[in-house]
Structure 1
Amino acid sequence: MVEKIKLDGRDYRMEKDSIGEMDVPGEVYYGVQSMRAAENFRITGLSMHPEIIVSLAYIKKAAAITNCEVGTLDRKLGEAIVQACDEIIGGKLHEQFIVDPIQGGAGTSLNMNANEVIANRAIELLGGEKGDYSIIHPNDHVNCGQSTNDVIPTAGKMTSLRLLENAQKELRRLYDVLEEKAKEFDGIIKMGRTQLQDAVPVRLGQEFKAYAEAVKRDVYRMDVAKDEMRSLNLGGTAIGTGVNADTQYVKRIVPNLDKITGMGFIQAYDMLDATSNLDSFVAVSGAVKACAVTLSKIANDLRLMSSGPRTGFGEINLPEKQNGSSIMPGKVNPVIPEVVNQVAFHIIGNDMTITMAAEAGQLELNAFEPIIFYNLFQSIDTLAYAVQTFVDNCVKGISANAERCRQLVEGSVGVVTALCPHIGYQKAAKIAKKALASRKSVRDLILEEGIVEKDKLEYILDPLAMTEPGIK
């Protein structure tokens, strides 16, 4: 029987745990352990990521199916648990997950929140009252064959995989748009720069092609990192030894989880290692950080090339998205590249937190998975959102100022580099210095001094030819 009371006109049920008794609102699906965690960990004020809630439901579903198969769970109870899990997978009861994303206890509070919600919904499905754990118990039935220490890492890996897939989808869109721009701008010659100083000519299309290749490399890095997320310690229970789990359950749980998710999961070769070491999450964070660095570099370049419009480089135009100043009329700022930069800074900071949390584990368990997951999910999500707005509100709409690019090439002394094989480095350097001092073009000085014949000079100083290998 469920002990019920009424306080201030509201119905409550009394629940007990090893700490003591607590009054739980009668209508909720969570229980005493979730409530204690909600009181203890008022840290971010945010809700749990919906994807990890879904991941937990998949794990509990797979566990119920497996326990029924091996005879450690009554089939009627197992079917009710599976149905409750399917409802959560479908988006129901997410508001019942009340624990803070950052919590002590290596995720025990989150695991018990899931166990209590699933148990109480399954009890309802069997015609019982919420809180009547004599029908279905959060620990004995929903958590059968499991521990927080194999459930939570598995949920973190499942969630990371799903979020990475979304980020990669956006990155592939960015790659495609950069490839299109590379073709569109391939005939536009501009001045290349090293250390922000004039270098040699380059095609604007070549620059955008280089951006596309860097993004493609980031997508590949994420593919490699995703492989590490498919190796699970599920079945290892508390420390990887599988204590309190039926031997057949240990063999079947990961294949069953893979069967219902189709995510390519395998059981870790060494489950003690997979339980105590979280370097795989550091690898994922590293791939996300590397991508953030790539995107920030591209954003920096776009801000420089679009600077001005009159007193800067002015080589490209970014789409005008909003007013840039409350005091300077007509000013438009590169707001989309700026937000990409800021997301990159945030991801880099998150990566440091993830790195230190993974390093701080002790012996058979790392207690700091909650902060790793909080920061990692945030990094992957914000990366995907940043790429989405980068593509749709910036890169797609970039146009080139071909005439401005041509003028800068013609006015630069960088073209003198092409003369080195013909007149030598020292003589070319003197021409460059003289051109800077006199404000004359390299072409005019060469002709004035009769160093190279006009026809040959036109061929050597052809900017387009300088964008390909060879001595002209």
Structure 2
Amino acid sequence: MDNDQTTEFRIEHDLLGDLPVPKQAYYGVHTLRAMQNFPITGQTIGQVPDLVNALAEIKAACARANQDLEMLDAKRANVIIQACEEIIQGNLHDHFTVDLIQGGAGTSTNMNANEVIANRALELMGYERGEYEHLHPNEHVNMSQSTNDVYPTAIKLALYRGCERLLLALTSLSASFDRKAVEFKDILKIGRTQLQDAVPMTLGQEFKTYAVSMDNLITRLRAALPLISEINMGATAIGTGINTHPNYAKSVCSHLARITGLPVCTSRDLIEATQDMGSFIHLSGVLKHIALKLSKISNDLRLLSSGPRAGIGDINLPAKQAGSSIMPGKVNPVIPEVVNQVAFEVIGLDMTVSMAAEGGQLQLNAFEPIIAHALFQSIAHLCNAMHTLEVNCVDGITPNHEQLQSQMDRSIVLVTALSPYIGYRHATQVAKEALETGKRVYDIVLEKKLIDKEKLDKIMMPQALTTPRAPIV
């Protein structure tokens, strides 16, 4: 039998009139209209647990603050808080059904939360879902609130949790590069500038730079956290705090800090904070910085492993899958390639955040939903990209010893290390002859008796070639 024919409904009413809501649904009429209006991404807010949990944490903090200030009776406050705690534990997320991208500056998201919490609280009081005369989504769950302070605060709490995961991913990837730096510390290779041979370095030094890059990104991401810890709870519609108790903003912030365990603080000016997107812009810039660094490193890994016979071939990336439907034996650098693509996406999403932030007018920015979507997606995809880069690529990288040694033997740039001892003119002549004859620089220097063998061997020691050293006498 068709499920639509067996579904029971309850009738709910809003500004536009009556609408049948599935009886088993915890959401209500406002959520249902949003589901009809915004079939955009197919991704609901319920599929972003951090956001749903943040909404529940905020509603619980508001209920507690309103109870403290004698605005809300203890019975209603307690069942609202109990319903919120159930959501935070992972229940009812499938009833948060509005699309992540929506018109209305996030009102549909806030109403979805109000309705789910209200209907679960009604059940806890012994009533049926939809019997709002006993506990109302707007009058009680949304007391002292507006979408315009709840929604941006929920986004910030969710982003903070996402950034914590991103910090773990960066830390883990940094450690992976560090392990390779130690493993490769004594392996000499030719450095390159502008894709041309430059002076020697160790493979360990090359990989250490990637670890340092990750550490620098960790510092920048941590520096962004205080900005997204500033909330505008108590602002209500435009920041004036209409319909709130004078002590409400301070109280709700205190309860929210306790509930979340996060260092949230109230913005200095709630009117400015309600319209400002600065913290989102800044975080998006940091995410773009992370993406650019990861993409540059991925480019390096693809170049260094190019070949295997006709490329640079300094390193071997772990083979993860067949690379061609027509060329047997071909293996491609698929992991760095996918990281590159995530980076391109994040860079584009940063532009989305910039345009949406610029598009706000007067006391509110109506485009916070697309900002939230962009930032959530960037963080999630960067975390996934870094994990696969670490586990499926970096951890399995090996040096191509034969190729590295061959390049060192054939390199003419070793004359750079000899220039202080034989002079620039002689060094140029040696380089020219090595290039024309294919002889080793080492052999030409000995043939011309420019330096004796004992001193030449000291000059050519790995430490002398790759670190600052006092002149060898």
TM-score (norm 2): 0.95
Aligned position for 1:4: none
How does 1:138-177 map onto structure 2 within 5 Å?
138-177=137-176
Kindly indicate whether residue 24 of structure 2 is the aligned counterpart of residue 17 of structure 1.
no
- Per-residue deviation, 1:160: 0.4
Q: Distance in 2 between matches of 1:220 and 1:454?
A: 48
Residue 312 of structure 2: aligned partner: 313
* Aligned with 1:30 (options 8, 13, 27): 27
Q: Distance in 2 between matches of 1:37 and 1:101?
A: 11
Question: Which residue of structure 2 aligns with residue 213 of structure 1?
Answer: 212
How far apart in 1 are the matches of 2:281 and 2:428? 49
Report if the CA contact (8 A) 2:353-2:370 is conserved: yes
**C-alpha deviation, 1:426, in angstroms:** 4.1
* Correspondence 1:188-203 to 2 at 5 A: 188-203=187-202
Assess if the C-alpha contact under 8 Å between 1:282 and 1:358 holds in 2. yes
Q: Whole-Å Cα distance in 2 between the matches of residues 303 and 342 of structure 1?
A: 14
User: Offset of 1:333 from its aligned partner?
Assistant: 1.4
Residue identity in the other structure for 2:96? F
In the alignment, the residues of structure 1 paired with residue 424 and residue 234 of structure 2 have an alpha-carbon distance, to the nearest angstrom, of 69
Describe the SS at the equivalent of 2:414. helix
Percent of aligned pairs with the same amino acid: 52
Unaligned runs of 5+ in 2: none
Question: C-alpha deviations, 1:204-259, integer Å up to 9, x for none?
Answer: 11111111111011111110111111111111111111111111222200111001
- Distance in 2 (alpha carbons) for counterparts of 1:84 and 1:73: 16
Greater mean alpha carbon deviation, residues 398-407 or residues 82-91: 398-407
Query: Which residue of the partner structure matches residue 41 of structure 2?
Result: 44
Residue aligned with 2:247, SS: helix
Correspondence for 1:257: 256
Partners of 1:194 and 1:51 lie apart in 2 by 44
Mapping for residues 244-323 of structure 1, pairs under 5 Å: 244-323=243-322
Residue 339 of structure 1 corresponds to which residue in structure 2?
Answer: 338
CA contact (8 A) 1:41 1:99 kept: yes
Q: Write the mapping of 1:93-242 to structure 2, written as runs, cut at 5 A.
A: 93-242=92-241
The answer for the alignment partner of 1:428 in structure 2 is: 427
Residue matched to 1:53: 52
Contact 2:230/2:267 (<8 A) preserved: yes
Paired residue type of 1:13 = R
Alignment pair present for 1:82 and 2:73 = no
Report if the CA contact (8 A) 1:161-1:226 is conserved: yes
Greater mean deviation of Cα atoms: 65-74 or 435-444: 435-444
1:361-409 CA distance string (max 9 Å, x none) = 1111111110000010000011111111111111111111223212111
- State the partner residue of 1:382: 381
| Count of aligned pairs between the two proteins | 467
Deviation at 1:463, TM superposition (A): 4.1
Matches within 5 A, 1:374-413: 374-413=373-412
SS at match of 1:331: coil
Which residue matches 1:454? 453
Structure 1: distance between partners of 2:101 and 2:431: 60
How far 1:83 sits from its partner (Å)? 1.0
Structure 1 residues 291-350: Cα deviation after superposition (integer angstroms, max 9, x where no partner):
111111111111111122222222212112111112222221111111111111111111
Supply the AA of the counterpart residue of 1:160: L
Deviation of residue 457 (structure 1)?
2.9
CA distance in 1 between counterparts of 2:104 and 2:6 reads 35
Please give the secondary structure, in 2, of the residue aligned with 1:170: helix
Aligned CA RMSD, in angstroms, stands at 1.6
Partners of 1:64 and 1:429 in 2: CA distance = 79
Provide the rounded CA distance (Å) in 1 between the counterparts of 2:339 and 2:250. 45
Which AA in structure 2 matches 1:220? Answer: T
Question: Could you give the per-residue CA deviations for residues 252-276 of structure 1, whole angstroms, max 9, x where no partner exists?
Answer: 0011100111111111111122111
**Which residue does the alignment assign to 1:368?**
367
TM-score (norm 1): 0.96
Name whichever of 371-380 and 173-182 sits farther off. 173-182
1:3 matched residue in structure 2: none
Where does residue 440 of structure 2 map in the other structure?
A: 441
Contact conserved, 2:249 with 2:266, CA < 8 A, in 1? no
Which shifted more, 308-317 or 121-130? 308-317
